[in-house]
Structure 1
Amino acid sequence: MTDYGFRPVTAADLTLLAEWLEQPHVRRWWSEPEEALVSIGEHLRDPLVEPYIVMLDGRDFAFIQVADLDGEDDAALDGQPQGTCGIDQFIGIETLLGKGHGPAFMADFCRKLFKKGKNRVLVDPHPDNIFAIRAYTKAGFQRLGETNTNYGRALLMALDRQENDRL
């Protein structure tokens, strides 16, 4: 079994994240690298968003962040159960794409969130991002439908605590 680790992002990680955000496979689906980096940096002081570096056998290779969505001001998220959070992530090292790491580390991360008491994890990939949708499906996420969020078009997908029991 592959060993994934999650460590909180620190200011020292911003240089690495800047490199990853410039990669074409990341840049295609994330905002402009400079904007994304500023946003991640702001999250270092935001109690509602927790950014992490994902490690593969001790080596930094991906990014994931979790946001508490209880009370989120986005009509597209209305009706979500209490204890809902959202995750965003990317693999920074292109040679590690397509090897099953995305679904595996997301499932591992979601198990940790459920153990902390979260009831639902949402993701909101762009409907054209077939690779992300496939990865989320492999991680156990179910489609809720297309919508327009505060960030644009999205396919809302959810993983609920009871569904996670099979992971």
Structure 2
Amino acid sequence: MPKAEPYAFRPLAAVDLPLLAKWLECRHVRRWWGNPAKALASMEEHIDAASVSCFMVMLDGKDFAFIQAADLDDEDDEALAGQPKGTYGIDQFIGIEELAGKGHGPAFMIGFCDMLFAKGAQRILVDPHPDNAFAIRAYTKAGFQGLGETTTNYGRALLMALDRQENNTQ
């Protein structure tokens, strides 16, 4: 199981869906992830799928967050066109509200992005809503740089990128 102390990532399994359903109903998650049933159905669809890799994030061995990565090389969203080959998009949330705003988001994202870079990713994109100052601040702390506002297939977004550094040892 990949680790970024004290964080670990394990592939999403059907047994995780009830916990995700609970988290998706929480106000702090629902505000940005929308309809919980629709979001959960999408996550369930991606269990063992090649197109999107979904993971539970554990803090000291306990589930507390969700993260997913999608290879964007064949993405049909015009707003994402022109990205370098080897670009991945990630989405995540902290499910336990009491753990949000404590630095866990940027920390586990750095560990997860390092894993993607080790597997050959060249760029990692995030696309928070421009009004989601909390997420934008977390992405900035994790090293993401703003590319500008756009409209994706999912609505308004601020595209932010983290590029593989040549001096990375992955």
- Alpha carbons of structure 1 residues 163 and 121: separation in structure 2 relative to 1, 3 Å: farther
Gaps of 5+ in 2: none
- Alpha carbons of structure 1 residues 75 and 56: separation in structure 2 relative to 1, 3 Å: same
Structure 1 residue aligned with 2:105 = 102
Percent identity between matched residues is: 71
Question: Pairwise CA RMSD of aligned residues?
Answer: 1.5
8 Å CA contact 1:140–1:163 kept in 2: the answer is no
Normalised by the length of structure 2, the TM-score is 0.94
Amino acid in structure 2 at the alignment position of 1:38: A
Superposed counterparts of 1:13-162, under 5 Å: 13-162=16-165
Partner SS, residue 25 of structure 1: helix
Normalised by the length of structure 1, the TM-score is 0.96
8 Å CA contact 1:140–1:164 kept in 2: the answer is no
Structure 2 residue aligned with 1:7 = 10
| Over 6 Å off, 4+ runs | none
8 Å CA contact 1:121–1:158 kept in 2: the answer is yes
**Structure 1 residue 98: Cα displacement:** 0.8
- Name the CA distance, whole Å, in 1 between partners of 2:12 and 2:162: 24
Number of residue pairs aligned between Structure 1 and Structure 2: 166
- Alpha carbons of structure 1 residues 47 and 146: separation in structure 2 relative to 1, 3 Å: same
Gaps of 5+ in 1: none
